Amino acid sequence: MSDRESETKAEAVEGRSLYRHPLAAVGGALVVAGILGFAILAFVDLSSPAGNPYRGLVTFIGFPSVVLLGLILFLLAIRIQVVRARRRGEHVRFNLRFEPSNPRYMRSLALFGILTAMLLGTVAWGGYKGYEVTDSATFCGEACHTVMNPQWVTYQQSPHARVACAECHIGPGASFFVRAKIDGIRQVVAVLTNSYDRPVPTPVTSLRPAQQTCEGCHWPDQFYGEKLVTKTYYRTNEANSPWTISLLMKVGGGNPRTGKQEGIHWHMLGENKIEYVTTDKKRQQMIWVRFTDGETGKVTVFKRPDAVVDPDSPDVEVRILDCMDCHNRPSHDFLPPATAINLEMTKGTISKDLPFVRWQGLTLLNAPYDTKPEADEAIRSGLLAYYAKQYPGKVDQGQVEKAADTLVRIYDANFFPEMKTDYRAREDNLSHFVNDGCFRCHFSDLESDDGTRISSSCNSCHTIAAQGPSDNLADIENSVAGLAFQHPVDIGDAWKQIKCTQCHTPAQGY
């Protein structure tokens, strides 16, 4: 045998021995299993009319991870064999000759090239599908079911139910996508270790500026005019007495007819700038506000008399007012019991003829429960037991059953005891009835150096077009020019001196 033949044979034996290691066998098995599993589930995913977040997670993240792990183990096995061979003083070489004159070699090379191209194409497609899966609303809402269930349920019944989560939580561009995925690793670890907060802390500090997300669809400069909003409230007395109020909401913005900046969205026009400082993470306690007039350039600072704020200090967070400071629950609105009950009574799913039904509904919905099944059973049985005891044979049993079912539905849509999440943990700043909202600035002790306070006039944001003790607009006082506010219960001028929330407390739900 010639020296050349001996060398070739030695290299072949040596080359084969590099792969004879348990890790190589395990790695190869993982690669084959991962590719087969990916192929099967990818076919199922392509042929299925409906997506499934768990299938997508396993197909486009799970199996590719298995293949990657197999390749790493395979390469590690080769590395171990090479190190061992060199320690024995053996010379290790890889036979990487190019033999264009060898037909068998060229066929093998062509097959290898085709398979490599197919693999790279599959990897690229799988990576893109993985990106699609992790950015889908169903993945966000269902993959981490317990943690995200409150957000998922409220999202599905929100005005933004057809807007994907990622469009607001991430938005366009690669930089925020990468940041979101890196932050997601921390969240996945928290879920796997069961160390996540209950409730999930809000507001979300990693959201990008609203101008880059909200204003892609909602442009303040094009908000103008007024919007009629009519609401009927019911009292907690035996008759469930109604009180209806119609408000002309001054949506405002940039009015193209007059060229004026006006209404509620005056706050958000690009020419104006409002900055603020709060003392709490939920941004409810305003202590300092700075307004820069877009037309004149005049700067006015309003602050609490006892507040000492240095806006230039690195320890002070000065935020610029944007959409989310008022519209802080655009897609995840947890309705207070009173609001939900009022809506259902107006629709007739809870009968106004049932004595004290609003009071009972508030009591049952606000009671503490540990789980939803426990709550559903207690709410339903509690309402049935109340009317069986207090009004035996005096009320329509069908209406009682319907009201009980409706209360359970209200609870399931707005209360999540496992995550300690409901309206009490999720302030809504788009009003001033249950939470301070607008009154954080407009009914506060913030004042400028010359003693001027931020306006608290009702007419700044809305005009009362109708109000009165009926659920029929035709039966109550009305005037397009506007009416002076009248409290449903005669409390004199007390409503002018205190905030709504001092009586209508969040803890009570009304």
Number of neighbours of residue 437 by Cβ within 10 angstroms: 22
| Type of residue at 265 | H
| Dist CA 243 CA 248 (whole Å) | 17
Find out whether 31 and 67 touch, Cβ atoms under 8 Å.
yes
pLDDT band for position 12 (cuts 50, 70, 90): very low
Query: Region 298-312: what's the mean pLDDT?
Result: 91
Report residue 365 as tokens.
């919905």
Residue 172 has pLDDT above 50, yes or no: yes
Average pLDDT over all residues of the chain: 86
Report residue 16 as tokens.
């084969």
pLDDT band for position 192 (cuts 50, 70, 90): confident
Q: Report CA Rg, the chain.
A: 33
Burial 366-385 (b: 16+ CB within 10 A, else e): beebeebeebbeebbebbee
| Dist CA 357 CA 355 (whole Å) | 5
Query: Considering the chain, what percentage of its residues have pLDDT values greater than 90?
Result: 40
pLDDT score for 501: 87
| Dist CA 211 CA 32 (whole Å) | 48
Report residue 22 as tokens.
């348990």
Query: Region 43-71: what's the mean pLDDT?
Result: 79
List Cβ neighbours of 232 (8 Å cut-off, separation of 6 or more). Answer: 242, 243, 244, 342, 345, 346, 471
Report residue 50 as tokens.
């409906």
Domain boundaries, the chain: 3-135, 155-207, 220-330+429-502, 337-419
Burial 329-339 (b: 16+ CB within 10 A, else e): bbbbbbbbbbb
Bridge partners (DSSP) of residue 249 are 227, 462
Crossing angle of the two packed helices 103-135 and 22-47, in degrees rounded to 10: 60
